[in-house]
Structure 1
Amino acid sequence: MRRWLFEPVPRGRIAAFRTLVYLFVVADLTVITPWVRTHAHVPGDLYQPLLVGRLLPLPTPTPLLVHGIFWALLVASVAAATGRAPRALGWTVFALYFEWMIIAMSYGKVDHDRFGFLVALAVLPTVGRARHGDATPTEAGGWALRVTQIAVVCTYFLAAFAKLRFGGVDWLWSSVLARAIIRRGTDFADLIAQVPYLLIAAQVGIVAFELLSPLIFVLRGRWRYAGIAFFYTFHLFTYATITISFAPHLVAMASFLPLEKVRPVSWLRARSLRPRAGSGIAQT
Structure 2
Amino acid sequence: MSRWLTEAVPRGRVAAFRTLIYLFVAADLVIFTPWVRTRVSVPGDMYQPLLIGRLLPLPTPTSALVAVLFWSLLVLALLAATGRAPRLLGWTVCALYLEWMIIAMSYGKVDHDRFGLLVALAVLPTAGRARHGDTTRTEAGGWALRVTQIAVVCTYFLAAWAKLRFGGLDWLTGSVLARAIIRRGTDLADVIAHVPYLLIVAQFGIVAFELLSPVVFLLPARWRLAMVGFFYSFHAITIATITISFAPHLAAMTSFLPLERVRPLVWARRLVGRRAPDASDSTSQEPADAGAAEPVGAGAAPEPVSAGAAAEPLGDQAPALGRPAGP
AA partner of residue 127 (structure 1): A
1:169 offset after TM fit, Å? 1.0
1:236-282 deviation digits (Å, cap 9, x = unpaired)? 00010110000000000000000011100000111111148985637
AA partner of residue 43 (structure 2): P
Whether the 8 Å contact between 1:173 and 1:203 is mirrored in structure 2 is yes
| Residues in 1 aligned to 2:279 and 2:78: alpha-carbon distance in whole angstroms | 40
Whether the 8 Å contact between 1:19 and 1:81 is mirrored in structure 2 is yes
Match of 2:260 in 1: 260
Match of 1:69 in 2: 69
- Secondary structure in structure 1 of the residue aligned to 2:212: helix
CA 1:282–1:235: 2 relative to 1, 3 Å:
farther
| Residues in 1 aligned to 2:110 and 2:262: alpha-carbon distance in whole angstroms | 33
Match of 2:305 in 1: none
AA partner of residue 192 (structure 1): I
Whether the 8 Å contact between 1:11 and 1:131 is mirrored in structure 2 is yes
CA 1:40–1:169: 2 relative to 1, 3 Å:
same
Match of 2:21 in 1: 21
Match of 2:92 in 1: 92
AA partner of residue 36 (structure 1): V
1:41 offset after TM fit, Å? 2.0
1:42 offset after TM fit, Å? 1.6
| Residues in 2 aligned to 1:211 and 1:151: alpha-carbon distance in whole angstroms | 14
AA partner of residue 189 (structure 1): A
Taking only aligned residues, the RMSD between alpha carbons, in angstroms, comes to 1.4
AA partner of residue 219 (structure 1): L
Match of 1:234 in 2: 234
AA partner of residue 199 (structure 1): L
| Residues in 1 aligned to 2:280 and 2:16: alpha-carbon distance in whole angstroms | 37
| Residues in 1 aligned to 2:56 and 2:277: alpha-carbon distance in whole angstroms | 64
TM-score, structure 2 normalization: 0.85
| Residues in 1 aligned to 2:213 and 2:3: alpha-carbon distance in whole angstroms | 21
1:55 aligns with 2:86: no
1:221 offset after TM fit, Å? 2.0
Kindly report which structure 2 residues correspond to 1:114-263, keeping only aligned pairs within 5 A, or say none.
114-263=114-263
Q: Which runs of 5+ in 1 are unaligned?
A: none
| Residues in 2 aligned to 1:43 and 1:278: alpha-carbon distance in whole angstroms | 66
- Greater Rg by CA: 2
Whether the 8 Å contact between 1:83 and 1:131 is mirrored in structure 2 is yes
Matched length: 284
CA 1:185–1:274: 2 relative to 1, 3 Å:
same
Whether the 8 Å contact between 1:276 and 1:282 is mirrored in structure 2 is no
- Secondary structure in structure 2 of the residue aligned to 1:49: coil
Greater relative CO (CA pairs within 8 A, separation 6+)? 1
- Secondary structure in structure 2 of the residue aligned to 1:70: helix
| Residues in 1 aligned to 2:263 and 2:30: alpha-carbon distance in whole angstroms | 25
- Secondary structure in structure 2 of the residue aligned to 1:114: helix
Query: Which is further off, 266-275 or 63-72?
Result: 266-275
Query: Which is further off, 91-100 or 126-135?
Result: 126-135
TM-score, structure 1 normalization: 0.97
Whether the 8 Å contact between 1:275 and 1:281 is mirrored in structure 2 is no
Match of 1:31 in 2: 31
